[in-house]
Amino acid sequence: MTIHFDDVNEGDELPELSKGPITETQLVRYSGASGDFNPIHTVPRVAQSVGLDGIIAHGMLTMAFAGQLLTDWAGDGSVRRIKVRFSGMTSPGETVICRGKVSQKSVEDGKHIVSGRLTVKGAEDGSLKLKGDFSVMVPKR
Amino acid sequence: MTIHFDDVNEGDELPELSKGPITETQLVRYSGASGDFNPIHTVPRVAQSVGLDGIIAHGMLTMAFAGQLLTDWAGDGSVRRIKVRFSGMTSPGETVICRGKVSQKSVEDGKHIVSGRLTVKGAEDGSLKLKGDFSVMVPKR
- CATH code of the domain in which A12 resides: 3.10.129.10
Find chain A residues with C-beta within 8 A of B24's C-beta: 39, 42-43, 45-46
Find the mean pLDDT for residues A53-64: 97
Structural domain of A122: 5-23+56-137
Q: Is A113 left (phi over 0), alpha (psi -120 to 50) or beta?
A: beta
In sequence order, what are the residues at sequence separation of 6 or more whose Cβ sits closer than 8 angstroms to the Cβ of residue A50?
Answer: A40
Half-sphere exposure of B19 (CA within 13 A, CB side): 25
The answer to whether B93 and B21 are in contact (CB under 8 A) is yes
Q: Is residue A122 part of a domain?
A: yes
Distance CA A96, CA A89 (A): 11
Nearest CA in chain A to B32: A32
Q: What pLDDT does B132 receive? A: 98
Find chain B residues with C-beta within 8 A of A31's C-beta: 28-29, 32
The pLDDT tens digits for B62-88 are 999 999 999 999 988 899 999 999 999
User: Could you give the strand order of the β-sheet that contains A78-86, starting from the edge strand earlier in sequence?
Assistant: A17-19, A96-108, A111-122, A128-137, A78-86
Q: What pLDDT does A141 receive? A: 83
Give the nearest partner residue to B28 out of A42, A44, A45, using CB atoms: A42
Q: Which of B116, B118, B125, B102 is nearest to B20 (CA)?
A: B125
Long-range contacts of A41-46 (CB under 8 A, 24+ apart): A42/B24, A42/B25, A42/B28, A42/B42, A43/B24, A43/B25, A43/B28, A44/B44, A44/B45, A45/B24, A45/B44, A46/B24
Q: Output A141 or B113, whichever has higher pLDDT.
A: B113
What confidence tier does B5 reach under pLDDT thresholds 50, 70, 90? very high
Q: Which of A55, A68, A125 is nearest to A99 (CA)?
A: A68
Q: Is residue A101 part of a domain?
A: yes
Nearest CA in chain B to A27: B28
Find the mean pLDDT for residues A92-104: 98
pTM of the model: 0.89
DSSP A104: E
Distance CA B88, CA A66 (A): 44
Find the mean pLDDT for residues B8-29: 98
What confidence tier does B1 reach under pLDDT thresholds 50, 70, 90? low
Q: Do B39 and A45 touch (CB under 8 A)?
A: no
Q: Is residue A124 part of a domain?
A: yes
Nearest CA in chain B to A43: B24
**Number of domains chain A contains:** 1
Distance CA B105, CA B109 (A): 13
Find chain A residues with C-beta within 8 A of B36's C-beta: none
Distance CA A131, CA B129 (A): 49
The pLDDT tens digits for B51-62 are 999 999 999 999
Helix B24-34 and helix A24-34, axial crossing angle in degrees, nearest 10? 70
Distance CA B132, CA B121 (A): 12
Q: Is residue A29 part of a domain?
A: no
Distance CA A13, CA A100 (A): 6
In sequence order, what are the residues at sequence separation of 6 or more whose Cβ sits closer than 8 angstroms to the Cβ of residue B108?
Answer: none
Q: What pLDDT does B131 receive? A: 98
Kindly tell me if the per-residue pLDDT of A1 is higher than 80. no
Identify from B28, B37, B53, B55 which residue to disrupt to test chain A contact, counting A C-beta atoms within 10 A and taking the largest count.
B28
Q: Is residue A42 part of a domain?
A: no
Find chain A residues with C-beta within 8 A of B21's C-beta: none
Q: Is residue A18 part of a domain?
A: yes
